[in-house]
């Protein structure tokens, strides 16, 4: 039995030296673990890339509609979208449309790159996936209130500055290209 444990340990050493990883069960019922990977410093090295477990298949954005619940301006967050319904809808054919509160808007959308899943409590600028909103245009009907017109201008500006999207707790989050939060929307 001792000879079998020595052979298992030798096999494990060879596998770990070649970059393989394995656990071998010895004949006495104890699992033998491969030695920890060491870098040139002799210390355990930390990974330098995004954890592959965080990269997942992107949720389907086409065919979804959202109601904006909060947006951010340089002065702070606005959680009450003033007396209006601000929406965004992504069709499966690449069209985006919605209401900025009084006027409608439309354009095209596309995504690219991997989808980096948001890990609860840990935001990073790479969360989500690149989102490009293009050819945005909107109607220019005068709204009944100047505050609504101001809100529309803010929302349309945020849409034009969007660069990433991510789902957080089931809500759509639009961020700029550097990962800064622009607005959040709940399913319509």
* Percentage of the residues of the chain whose pLDDT score is greater than 70: 69
Domain of residue 119: give its range: 55-187
What span, in angstroms and rounded, lies between the C-alpha atoms of 61 and 89? Answer: 9
Verify that 27 and 118 share a domain, yes or no: no
Verify that 80 and 35 share a domain, yes or no: no
Q: Are 117 and 57 in contact (CB under 8 A)?
A: no
Verify that 169 and 132 share a domain, yes or no: yes
DSSP E strands, the chain = 24-25, 31-32, 55-56, 64-73, 76-78, 87-90, 95-99, 104-116, 128-138, 162-168, 171-176, 181-187
pLDDT of residue 152: 93
What span, in angstroms and rounded, lies between the C-alpha atoms of 99 and 147? Answer: 15
Q: Are 68 and 184 in contact (CB under 8 A)?
A: yes
Verify that 18 and 81 share a domain, yes or no: no
Read off the pLDDT of residues 82-120 as tens digits, 9 standing for 90 and up. Answer: 789 999 999 999 999 999 999 999 999 999 999 998 876
Verify that 85 and 30 share a domain, yes or no: no
Q: State whether the Cα torsion 111-117-123-126 is positive or negative.
A: negative
The more confident residue out of 98 and 33 is 98
Verify that 30 and 100 share a domain, yes or no: no
Verify that 37 and 76 share a domain, yes or no: no
pLDDT at 23 over 80: no
Read off the pLDDT of residues 45-58 as tens digits, 9 standing for 90 and up. Answer: 333 345 555 567 88
Dig out the tokens for 143 from the structure: 């709204």
**For residue 58, which of 1, 131, 2 has the smallest C-alpha distance?**
131
Verify that 63 and 101 share a domain, yes or no: yes
Read off the pLDDT of residues 108-163 as tens digits, 9 standing for 90 and up. Answer: 999 999 999 887 676 778 889 999 999 999 999 998 889 899 999 999 999 999 99
How far from chain centre, in Å, is Cα 42?
A: 35
Query: Domains in the chain: how many in total?
Result: 2
Say which CATH number the domain at 155 has.
2.40.128.270
What span, in angstroms and rounded, lies between the C-alpha atoms of 86 and 151? Answer: 10
pTM above 0.85, yes or no: no
Verify that 39 and 117 share a domain, yes or no: no
Three-state DSSP class for residue 74: coil
Verify that 91 and 136 share a domain, yes or no: yes
Angle at 14 between CA 12 and CA 16, to 5 degrees: 70
Burial of residue 68, with CB atoms counted within 10 A of its CB: 0-12 exposed, 13-18 middle, 19 or more buried: buried
């Amino acid at each position: 039995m001792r000879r079998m444990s020595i052979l298992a340990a030798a096999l494990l050493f060879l596998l770990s030296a070649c970059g393989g990883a394995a656990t071998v069960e010895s004949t006495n019922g104890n699992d033998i673990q491969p030695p920890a990977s060491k870098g040139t410093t002799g210390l355990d090295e930390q990974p330098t890339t995004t954890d592959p477990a965080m990269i997942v298949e992107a949720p389907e954005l086409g065919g979804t509609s959202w109601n904006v619940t909060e947006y951010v301006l340089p002065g702070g967050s606005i959680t009450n979208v003033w007396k209006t319904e601000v929406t965004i809808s992504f069709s499966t054919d690449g069209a985006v449309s919605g209401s900025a509160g009084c006027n409608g808007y439309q354009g095209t959308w596309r995504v690219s790159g991997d989808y980096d899943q948001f890990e609860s409590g840990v935001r990073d600028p790479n969360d989500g996936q690149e989102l490009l909103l293009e050819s945005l245009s909107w109607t220019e009907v005068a709204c009944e209130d100047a505050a609504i017109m101001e809100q529309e201008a803010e929302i349309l500006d945020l849409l034009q500055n969007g660069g990433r999207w991510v789902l957080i707790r089931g809500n759509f989050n639009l961020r700029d290209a550097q990962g800064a939060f622009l607005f959040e929307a709940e399913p319509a």
